[in-house]
Amino acid sequence: MDESNNRVGGRVSTRLLIYLAKRWRLFIISIASIIILTTLNSLVPIYIRDAIDQGILMKNLWNTIYYTIIILGLVGGAGVASYTSRYFITLLSQQVVHDIRVDAFKSIQRQSMDFFDKTYTGQLISRITNDANRLARFFSNRLRNLVNSILLASLSIYYMYTMSPRLSIIAAAMIITLAIVNTRYVMIIRPIYDAIRHQIGVLASIVTNNLNGIKTVKALSLEEHETSIFNKENNEFTRMSLKAAKIRAIYGNISTLVLGASISLILYYGAYAAINGELTIGEITAFITYLTMLMWPMRALGLILGGFQRTLASAKRIFEIIDAKPKIYENPSARKLRDIRGEILLKNIVFSYIDEHKVLNNINLRIKPGEKILITGPPGSGKSTILKLLMRLYDPQSGNIYIDGIDIKDIKLDSLRKFIAMVPQEPFIFSGTIRENISFGADNIQEKDIIEAAKAAQIHEFIMSLPKRYDTLVGEKGITLSGGQRQRIAIARALLTKPKILLLDDPVSNLDAETERKLIQDLEKIFEDRTVIIVSQRLSLARLADRIIVLDKGRIVEEGTHNQLITKKGLYHKLYTTSLTQRKILKR
């Protein structure tokens, strides 16, 4: 287990190094400036020593001034190096993370639909934002601190050794203790902080659900019930926070104790050594300054060592996305289509989404160019799935789909989707203006085309009634559209691409009777010169169709014109009569 983890860790580190190597210039500048920064800083206590020993103790004011000017120079130089290192290491880390993030995003865009059925959106988002940020933090602050603390510790010990080998052992012991304690601290507190963060999420989701369902809460008098749930989690949050506070109070201040003990020892032995003439007052001061100076770098070192596993874990999660292989890809020999007639042939199609359950079971269907087909059937009969297969959002388990006689697997995806447009049942509206949403799929579009498409989709009037018309913001940042309005925008969106094959998934499901009637009227015009497949339970669309296909449990059970199917008195007839109950009631 551990071994395999290490191997994975090794692979992940190698890949990170490859990303880093691509920006090797920035890397070298960054590391060099950190080395300069640390070296300059490490010299300061030495010159404080000299200012004391050569200046104050020798009663030589000029020496003091001389050395203090050197100190100022060192600190000034360190300032410049600090700025440089901070700038370049941020640039480096952000560039590297940008590369990783874009690679991950590209990979997401490449994935086929099955990937999204399996993966939670929240997880993907968290990987691209949180995990990427953690990497960025690692490459900037952490990397900087790592170099800084190790180098500073080594240089300090070296200088202390030159002053007093014996006392430098105390210093070295302190440094090692601090590094261990701080690493342990980070490793203990991290999981608690994670739990706290998770608990905040729990609280937020309780509040969110409670407020979204506030009417239900009130209607069912659940106020007390809800409050007790909230209190329970709120108390749990407090318990966790106090636990973290305790650990932080003890461990977080332990550095003070270690430092205090070390300084006490150094004072004790140092004082004896000074009295014996082996050490100067300036040197004792330098020792104390070094030890104090090392407090923060050692804390940072703990943070890095304690957090290294997590960084690798973050990187691993992102690389998983980058490495995911899309199920749907183009054949190497896939070709581009110039134009199509719009003939569709489905041959022995079998398809299931996840498990064994066959959504489509041996579908055979030939659709002539320009033919209008209505596919109907009870819910779950596999109607919409056919449309998704035609768009090649999924590939069938077996069987083939041909467009104009060419297997769609041999057509470039881009080219295939150029000629086919689909209006899904619950279309997605991007946050942006209505205009942007309608013109989403098309290139080089003129205003009049957009309006024409909107008119055809029966949404123009509504848009014109909005204060900012086509520039009205919709989606997350703007107004909320009803299901029917979204559908009609999606229809306009599809029409604008002038597709040869138009696929409509229940285009009237969310419309009121009046709009439905108007839309059906207009659809007739829209359908001209196109192959059209409509999927719907609403049989009001039947009159638009040349042929009706009835699907049940993944199989085609009936096929024919409206009149043929009615006289056949099969499933279609049954569906038709139930949908007409209302009419009969009224007639009575």
Q: Does 540 bind another protein (CB under 8 A)?
A: yes
Least Cβ distance, residue 560 to another protein (angstroms): 18
| 129 burial via Cβ count (<10 Å: 0-12, 13-18, 19+) | exposed
CA atoms of 366 and 400, how far apart (whole Å): 12
Is 8 or 206 the residue whose CB approaches another protein more closely? 206
Q: Restricting to residues 73-92, which ones interact with another protein according to CB under 8 A?
A: 75-76, 78-80, 82-84, 86-87, 90-91
Token pair, residue 566, equals 């009615």
Length of the chain: 588
Q: Does 578 bind another protein (CB under 8 A)?
A: yes
Is 87 or 158 the residue whose CB approaches another protein more closely? 87
Is 4 or 465 the residue whose CB approaches another protein more closely? 465
Q: Restricting to residues 188-217, which ones interact with another protein according to CB under 8 A?
A: 200, 203-205, 207-217
Q: If DSSP codes are grouped into helix, strand and coil, which group holds residue 19?
A: helix
Name which position in 6, 154, 162, 235 contacts another protein (CB under 8 A). Answer: 235
Which residues are CB-neighbours of 175 under 8 A, at least 6 positions away? 153, 156, 157, 294, 298
Least Cβ distance, residue 13 to another protein (angstroms): 23
Name which position in 57, 169, 180, 479 contacts another protein (CB under 8 A). Answer: 57
Per-residue string for binding with another protein, 469-488, x by CB under 8 A?
------xx------------
Q: Restricting to residues 111-130, which ones interact with another protein according to CB under 8 A?
A: 113, 116, 121, 124-125, 128-129
Name which position in 162, 227, 364, 482 contacts another protein (CB under 8 A). Answer: 227
Least Cβ distance, residue 2 to another protein (angstroms): 34
Q: Does 566 bind another protein (CB under 8 A)?
A: no
Specify the stretch interacting with another protein by CB under 8 A; choose among 16-24, 250-258, 402-410, 527-535.
250-258
Q: Does 242 bind another protein (CB under 8 A)?
A: yes
Q: Restricting to residues 271-290, which ones interact with another protein according to CB under 8 A?
A: 271-272, 274-275, 281, 284-285, 288-289
Q: Does 263 bind another protein (CB under 8 A)?
A: yes
**Number of residues located near another protein, criterion CB under 8 A:** 149
Q: Does 428 bind another protein (CB under 8 A)?
A: yes
Least Cβ distance, residue 36 to another protein (angstroms): 13
CA atoms of 486 and 492, how far apart (whole Å): 10
The DSSP bridge partners found for residue 548 are: 374, 560
The DSSP bridge partners found for residue 503 are: 422, 533
CA atoms of 354 and 361, how far apart (whole Å): 14
Work out the angle at residue 397's Cα, subtended by the Cα atoms of residues 393 and 401, and round it to the nearest 5 degrees. Answer: 60
Least Cβ distance, residue 449 to another protein (angstroms): 15
Is 236 or 407 the residue whose CB approaches another protein more closely? 236
The DSSP bridge partners found for residue 531 are: 501
Which residues are CB-neighbours of 289 under 8 A, at least 6 positions away? 44, 45, 48
Which residues are CB-neighbours of 130 under 8 A, at least 6 positions away? 314
How are beta strands 406-407 and 398-403 bridged, if at all? antiparallel
DSSP state of 554: T
Taking alpha carbons only, the member of 500, 326, 480, 365 closest to residue 422 is 500
Name which position in 175, 344, 367, 422 contacts another protein (CB under 8 A). Answer: 422
Least Cβ distance, residue 292 to another protein (angstroms): 7
How many other C-beta atoms can be found within 10 angstroms of the C-beta atom of residue 464? 11
The amino acid occupying position 183 is T
Least Cβ distance, residue 314 to another protein (angstroms): 15
**Cα dihedral angle (243, 244, 249, 253), rounded to 10 degrees?**
140
Is 241 or 472 the residue whose CB approaches another protein more closely? 241
Token pair, residue 515, equals 């709009």
Least Cβ distance, residue 487 to another protein (angstroms): 12
Phi then psi for residue 479, to 5 deg, are -75, 155
Q: Does 548 bind another protein (CB under 8 A)?
A: no
Q: What is the CA radius of gyration of the chain?
A: 36
CA atoms of 318 and 124, how far apart (whole Å): 9
Taking alpha carbons only, the member of 343, 345, 348 closest to residue 555 is 348
Say if residues 519 and 507 touch (Cβ distance below 8 Å).
yes
Per-residue string for binding with another protein, 290-329, x by CB under 8 A?
--x-------------------------------------
Phi then psi for residue 445, to 5 deg, are -110, 140
Name which position in 49, 418, 486, 500 contacts another protein (CB under 8 A). Answer: 418
Is 525 or 587 the residue whose CB approaches another protein more closely? 587
Phi-psi category of residue 277: left, alpha or beta, with phi > 0 → left and psi -120 to 50 → alpha: left
Least Cβ distance, residue 212 to another protein (angstroms): 6
Per-residue string for binding with another protein, 345-384, x by CB under 8 A?
---------------------------------xx-----
Specify the stretch interacting with another protein by CB under 8 A; choose among 166-174, 234-242, 305-313, 527-535.
234-242
Q: Restricting to residues 489-518, which ones interact with another protein according to CB under 8 A?
A: 490, 493, 497, 509-510, 513-514, 516-517
